[in-house]
Amino acid sequence: MQKLSLSHQLNQKLSPQQIQFIKLLQIPTAELNSRIEEELEINPALEEGADEPEEFSDEPSNEEDSSNEKDELDIDDYLRDEDVQGYKMQGDGPGDEEEREFTIETQQSLQELLLAQLGFLKLDEKQYLIGKQLIGSIDEDGYIRREMELITNDLNFSANVDTSEEELEEILFKIQSFDPAGIAARTLQECLLLQIERKDQDIPAVGLATKILHEQFEEFTKKHYDKIQKHYGIEESLLKECVDIITKLNPKPGGVTDSELKTIFVIPDFILFNNNGKLELSLNSKNAPELKVSRSYTEMFQSYDKSSKQDKKLKEAVTFVKHKLDAAKWFIDAIKQRQQTLLRVMNAIIKFQYDFFIEGDDSYLKPMILKDIADMVEMDISTISRVANSKAVQTEFGTYPLKYFFSEGIATDSGEDASSREVKFILKEIIDAENKKKPLADEKLEEALNKKGYNIARRTVAKYREQLNIPVARLRKEM
């Protein structure tokens, strides 16, 4: 016998307008202008410029006029018994509500950032294809480890691009000038040279460090400092300066964090100014465009209102105008709501991380997760995530992606949470103070942090050390 069962399932759905607002909310300032231009192009009822104030007559209006003004966009008389789809903005799906099952990635990968820089070069089509192939050959550490001959063959046979290794290297050298410094190197030596050559070569220690990388790279990697010192006939103090400069270079330029990548090209969404101890926040002016509903379209609708309500073609015209007017008003309101949401979230972050924004010192950053801000502004965590993942704030200490202020907490002996950045700061202090003739291994660093009350595992110490671009103990050893 067949059994019947009844189950309840709750599905949260978003309307097309809600979906469009989410898209508006998460795009960064740099893309907002393009989105506005797109809407201006498809909706003639939307115009640029400040909204015009309503004109008032000195003569009192009668009841009928007052009613017409109040119900200016009420067209129930026209649309009675009509099943008219609501206005859908470009890119909407079906008119029905859509399931809340979508993700829109806003983070840029290393390759996307490199391709963006490639676009700034004045290349012909063939050169651009070569550049794309080279960028696609960059591994996660930031190196091109494939032979130029193999990449040339790929272009010749797979992409039908007739090129040579010489032409390939010509484009490669251009890519090696991109940020982050050292990108697209073929060897560690080339990677370090690409970075140090951007420094001021007139500084004696920088110039000599560059020569060491060029001429004595093998001796340097083996830490044969005495041979290098003898080769150049220099004082030990100058050699130490050179070693310090070289060891601060990044051996893995492709391993930079998302926030570091974003700061290369980011246009700040917020401007934070410290006015004698009082923090003043404002939106980037690009976030506050002047938009208005077309006066001609409004007048067109008002003229229809005085015409016959029985004409079918007139109904269709009224429906079209109504949809465009509604869409224009909705878009303007959505832009304003976007501004309000951004300011609420950023003000909450400032309040939570107030000490950092006053001092500009990473050690003042508190452990902060999305839920902390969501609770403060009484918004959904997903909303905070969309704002944090794609926005940045300009401060007197630099421009920071909002993601920079969120971090996991690490338990301390006192029962409180310490920011991962605070732990990194302490870790760096310990390493800076170590005896460089006997640098501390990760196990010893773990013990030192535990003694200071930070409950942290050795593998976490190693992870933080790598994120700080600090080499292992044997490579930190000095003379």
User: Which domains are present in the chain?
Assistant: 110-255 (no CATH), 265-403 (no CATH), 409-476 (1.10.10.60)
Residue 429: pLDDT over 70: yes
Residue 107 banded pLDDT, cuts 50, 70, 90 = very low
Residue 61: pLDDT over 50: no
**Contact status, residue 272 vs residue 357, Cβ threshold 8 Å:** yes
Residue 62: pLDDT over 60: no
Residue 309's pLDDT is 57
What percentage of residues in the chain have a pLDDT greater than 90? 24
Residue 169 banded pLDDT, cuts 50, 70, 90 = very high
DSSP state, residue 454: B
What percentage of residues in the chain have a pLDDT greater than 70? 76
Average pLDDT over the chain, rounded to an integer = 77
Kind plus residue range of the DSSP H or E element containing 474: helix 473-476
Cβ contacts of residue 454 below 8 Å, gap of 6+?
410, 412, 418, 423, 426
Residue 102's pLDDT is 29
**pLDDT tens digits, one per residue of 189-245:** 999 999 999 888 889 999 999 999 999 999 998 889 999 999 999 999 999 999 999
Q: How far apart are CA 431 and CA 365, in angstroms?
A: 21
Q: 232 vs 122, 205, 215, 236, 469, CA distance in Å?
A: 42, 12, 11, 11, 28
Residue 187: pLDDT over 90: yes
Query: When comparing pLDDT for 55 and 476, which is higher?
Result: 476
Residue 114: pLDDT over 80: yes
Q: 341 vs 105, 278, 412, 425, CA distance in Å?
A: 20, 22, 34, 33
Residue 392's pLDDT is 87
Residue 347: pLDDT over 90: yes
Residue 56: pLDDT over 50: no
Residue 104: pLDDT over 50: no
Place of tokens 């300032």: 29
Residue 159's pLDDT is 75
Q: How far apart are CA 45 and CA 36, in angstroms?
A: 13
Residue 376 banded pLDDT, cuts 50, 70, 90 = very high
Query: When comparing pLDDT for 37 and 312, which is higher?
Result: 37
pTM of the model: 0.47
Residue 414's pLDDT is 53
